[in-house]
Copies of this chain bind each other. A is one copy, B any other.
């Protein structure tokens, strides 16, 4: 048989057009609908960025007020969903729970806004609101505590910290949490966003599409890298050990987590901003261990790679785990936090897919057995 070439993993293949986000890896730039993530992290908040992603523009004052109120009103879980959270097996991962809850929520949405190419997902913002509530409730139950009822006078990030920890966070910590959500809200056609678009292309509901995307984010090749960075930090233990650890890892050709990115050939702009948060929190808590270990890993790693003529920079996952740790968040919530943020991007992509939809149906190359006769059970 003649060898047919194709792009494995669809690498380099254009799967669609998008107006949502522009990643310029060569120069280390990331814009959401034209606005740089640095500007958005500095001046905006997660609710406004969600509006921007879904409505394609920054909201006017009253638009933002209405939108924010509608999301905050939707934060509480209904009793059946809370029951699912309570019943979820101990030791299982909250990403599995999130995937399950999101499609369950689909059942609570009126039929008329399902299955339509023009269905307005903007009215189904329970998802954006409730993912945070589910994650926090799950964590509280793990600790043998009661879930905390959400408040509607806190930002999305601050309310999340409140629900996890049971007390209102200091203002700067709530703001940093919220800004981290801004920085993770969108990043083009990664595998989870692509999943959401593929499911949406069948004209399934936006809940079913987002639920499916959760499944991809749970995959160890997608979410979870910042967890592994923190494992590395724990393994190094002390800034003085970092150089030896990194050089040995490089000698063993072991991957150094959080360094390098398929797209960015300059420093990931999100990493720059999050490094600033880590600096702020380290000063505030007078705990410089994570920051010093990470900076030392970066210094040694980059120096070695530059010697080889391969400049490699930290990516978004390099500093974020340490920020979450200093905010008092358990490691198992890192990927669910990613989901809390990225749901806004996913929804924007679902809407965009529907605006000019074509069912995703690629071809496969058959490489299996030739036709053969069925052999009855007794003759095998």
User: A216 near B: Cβ within 8 Å?
Assistant: yes
In the complex, the chain B residue whose C-beta lies closest to that of A356 is: B8
What's the tally of chain A residues with a CB closer than 8 Å to chain B? 108
* A58 contacts the other chain (CB 8 A): yes
Helix, strand, loop or mixed for chain A's interface?
A: mixed
Give A195-215 as 1s and 0s: 1 = Cβ < 8 Å from B's Cβ atoms.
100111111110111011111
Do B365 and A17 touch across chains, with their CB atoms under 8 A apart? yes
- Which single member of B96, B204, B219, B362 contacts A207 (CB below 8 Å)? B96
B209 touches A215 (CB 8 A): yes
Asked whether, in the complex, the Cβ of A15 is within 8 Å of the Cβ of B19, the reply is no
Encoded as 1 (CB less than 8 Å from any B CB) or 0, chain A from 343 to 380 comes to 00000000000000011111111111111111111101
Contact with B along A1-38 (1 / 0, CB 8 A): 00010101111111111111110000000010111100
Q: Which of B59, B219, B221, B360 contacts A10 (CB 8 A)?
A: B360
The answer on a CB contact under 8 Å between B80 and A92 is no
Instruction: Give the residue name and chain of the B residue nearest to A197 (CB).
Output: B364
Q: List 11 A-B contacts (CB under 8 A).
A: A14-B365, A16-B362, A16-B365, A58-B375, A61-B377, A99-B106, A103-B214, A195-B199, A199-B215, A208-B214, A221-B359
Known: A99-B212, A103-B103, A202-B219. 5 other contacts (CB 8 A): A9-B361, A14-B364, A88-B107, A92-B107, A211-B212
- Give the B-binding residues of A (Cβ under 8 A): 4, 6, 8-22, 31, 33-36, 39-40, 43-44, 48, 58-61, 64, 80, 83-84, 87-89, 91-93, 95-97, 99-104, 106-108, 111, 115, 188-192, 194-195, 198-205, 207-209, 211-222, 262, 358-378, 380
